[in-house]
Amino acid sequence: MTKQVYEGMTLVELKDIAKKLEIKNISKYKKNELIDEILKKSPNTVEKEGVILREKISSKVRNDNNSVSNTTNNKANFNNNTVNNTGFNNNNSSFNNNNSSFNNNSSNNNNSFNNGNRSFNNSSNVSNIVNNNNSDNKVDSKNNEENPALKQEKLNNMINESNSAKGILEILENNNFGFLRCKNYLTSSEDIYVSPSQIRRFNLRTGDEVQGKIREAKEGEKFKALLFVEKVNGEHPERAIGRKYFETLTPIYPKERLRLETSDEKDLSSRLMDIICPIGKGQRGIIVAPPKAGKTTLLKKVAQNISTNYPDIKLIVLLIDERPEEVTDMKRSINGEVIYSTFDEEPQNHAKVSRIVLERAKRMVEQGKDVVILMDSITRLSRAYNLTITPTGRTLSGGLDPGALIMPKKFFGAARNIEEGGSLTILATALVDTGSRMDDMIFEEFKGTGNMEVHLDRKLQERRIFPAIDIYKSGTRKEDLIFSKEEKDVAYTIRKVMYRDGNIEDVTENLIGMLSKTSDNKEFINVFKKVEFEKRRQNNK
């Protein structure tokens, strides 16, 4: 539009046009100033018989136009000189008199002829340029048509030539993308970038084990990138799309037994746990222990026996705030996955590792698998959250923030037996009698949340009675669902004797002595029945 057209508009209409042209700070301009800004921003316009033609002129087109304009000017000169030449022929009568004019005209004629040649050459160059441009456009259109096929072929070649890798997915909360953690579930230089489109395509979640083809990091990139998803949790990626969420599955009491007894006759701790406090699939158990009572040794035995008796069960040992040498010992002792965050690392690492381990276990349970997590310890995990969370403004005894227990309770509370199939069993240790009021408060908060407890007694340990399991305090809720009838009768009888005599240390010592004299629990049950039968007969006499 011309300036006169814009002057006939109102200021409101001009502001609307300025907004469309993305002119900033519209309100500070007066009407004439705003018109000038619009004319600066608006594209080049040409008026022709009432029709306004707009076009964006690039530099290349301007050069072509300049060459065309030069050609037309040269043609015009050629025509003018040609007219002069005809005039010379018409004035043949004055040939003799105007000799000088003849020379001038002939020179003009030659000049015009030369100019004409130049213009002809220029016009031929323009036609060549146009032809070249047309041929380039045809090639570009062909390339555009072939581009999708070429791109797909290049992508297939890149996928075939690339290496395969797998890791545990962590989706960042503030973004849609994620990374495959390849080393101890923590951030490292070996992580692999996963794009948002891949996450949405296969309904990927934090904790999924993703395997696929990767490409190396390009210049300016820090991480490798996932090109092609081959498997999700060991299955075809399409199966991950319609799976249910862990929170929507139905939790029930454990009904299937996890036997810890093995062929090793000297392993009395596992045999005693099978009788006093049995473990079922989906159990939520807590091992309460003072320092140096043997909780780490007991946890190691449980891990070894579960991996031996149930190789199909996925076993994860989570060590939080532990000593590095214990991590090495645990790795070498068990056949399972050991995830750790030692005491020399930051509390944020403790919290992050535990969160990803829990999400990993949930993803496997959603597939219908049985998972066992052995955690040492939930007390130190709560201490880590006490340092990392935003303070709630309230403090419990010992300096414990109530908000610090939210995530540890989510972790411990995730243990359950699933009615639709699968189970998550968690055995976590809790520290008591450490001299810290905070540790006692943490144990009190978790005391009623589990459905199985194993108490280790320091007095038994001081008397060199191993395993130092306090029979009086240890037990399992709804144990009749996983006990056989004979095992249930023996367990009830042991507790009756213990309550009757009142001496826990002596009863435990006698029980361990009977276990050591038998090869397995089946033989122990038969011997125990005979002993009790003889005692009853003597009492009746």
Residue 80 has pLDDT above 50, yes or no: no
Sign of the C-alpha dihedral computed for residues 350, 356, 359 and 363 taken in this order: negative
pLDDT band at 264 (very low <50, low <70, confident <90, very high): confident
The mean pLDDT of the chain is 79
pLDDT at 537: 61
Q: What is the pLDDT of residues 19-63, one digit of tens each?
A: 788 787 777 777 888 888 888 777 554 444 444 444 444 444 444
Residues annotated within the binding site for ATP are 280-285, 292-297, 323
Residues annotated within the binding site are 280-285, 292-297, 323
Distance CA 326, CA 319 (A): 9
Domain covering 267-538: architecture = 3-Layer(aba) Sandwich (3.40)
Residue 261 has pLDDT above 70, yes or no: yes
Structure pTM? 0.70
Distance CA 355, CA 374 (A): 14
Distance CA 45, CA 42 (A): 8
Distance CA 99, CA 79 (A): 23
Highest-scoring range by mean pLDDT, 57-61, 133-137, 390-394: 390-394
Is 161-242 assigned to CATH 1.20.1250.20? no
What is the torsion angle, in degrees rounded to the nearest 10, for the CA atoms of residue 94, residue 100, residue 103 and residue 106?
-50
How many CB atoms sit inside 10 A of residue 312's CB?
6
Mean pLDDT value across residues 218-232:
89
Mean pLDDT value across residues 86-95:
39
pLDDT at 44: 53
pLDDT at 26: 78
